[in-house]
Amino acid sequence: MIYTVTFNPAIDYVVRIDHPMVVGAVNRAAGEDCVLGGKGINVSGVLQQLGCESVALGFVAGETGKWLERGLAAQGLQTDFVQMKQGMTRINVKIKADLETELNGAGPDIPEDARRAFEEKIDKLTEGDILVLAGSIPASLSQDTYEKILQRLQGRGVQTVVDATRDLLARVLPYHPFLIKPNNHELEELVGVKLNSDEEIAQAAGYLQKRGARNVLVSMAGNGALLRDENGAIHRIGCPKGKVINSVGAGDSMVAGFVAGYQKTHDYAYALRLGTACGSATAFSLGLARKEDIEALLETI
């Protein structure tokens, strides 16, 4: 089974205004939507489109948490969140006007008993399971939480995927994650060097492998992606043609496609193709990638 983790999920309240927003005055919306998400939940959503079952893990609280769970269930997603008694799952307000404005909620504090309950769920993972850790860690959790999770899973045959930045990613490398997915700018931060060519990116990915990562997938937005697999092979792929509408969730979609592709075929080249198709399908859409769009793009790569 594939498990995804979203420590601080959210309900995004998206408001569209067809005129310039006036601060300090009443502004009337032309339309609004509620989007349920978080990086791990995005991965689960795209996995579902690909016919792969997953379970979304994390923390929810209050009536907004119950609403989020009901909404994900209505979308056909399986969840196993830790229910917290205090606080509320956050609401992020996204205002789409002449200028885009965001007001992101903080989310609930995660107490010790909730953390232990989450660890009990992690302890149930067994050989052959895949765990996807994506995004930042809330302030109420230790910043070495990812590291502790991978340490907890050592020797149990669970494949881990980590999509994080800077120290969060660097700290997990000694635990040999199956896949890490920095973008090219994040890779530069990790190695401390400006990367100007595919050869330099491949060398930097090799450096991360020497530090422990098995497979390094480097996304490069409109320039495609580069994969250095655990056998030392370099796979380079371009990006299909299309109009970028919204890049939010594109990286999560690429992770979902790669994991699904590898789980199905154990072929890194195919996993990269499917990951690229999923990431692009999301970038070319208002929401997350849909099955039909993924399949259409896959034929063009």
Residue 236, beta-bridge partner list: 226
Q: Which residues are catalytic?
A: 252
- Say how many C-beta atoms besides its own lie within 10 A of residue 210's C-beta: 8
Contacts made by residues 194-202, CB under 8 angstroms, sequence distance 24+? 198/226, 198/236, 201/226, 202/226, 202/228, 202/234
87 contact partners, CB below 8 Å, separation of at least 6: 61, 62, 107, 108, 109
208: tokens are 């991360």
Q: Would you list the DSSP string of 66-92?
A: HHHHHHHHHTT-EE-PEEESSS--EEE
- Is the CB of residue 280 less than 8 Å from the CB of residue 273? no
* Burial of residue 230, with CB atoms counted within 10 A of its CB: 0-12 exposed, 13-18 middle, 19 or more buried: middle
9 alpha carbon, distance to own chain's centre = 12
- Say how many C-beta atoms besides its own lie within 10 A of residue 33's C-beta: 13
282: tokens are 């999301």
Measured between alpha carbons, how far is 200 from 177 in angstroms, rounded to an integer?
22
Q: Which of 168, 155, 162 is nearest to 125 (CA)?
A: 155
Q: Is 188 helix (H, G, I), strand (E, B) or coil?
A: helix
Strand-pair category, 225-228 with 82-84: unpaired
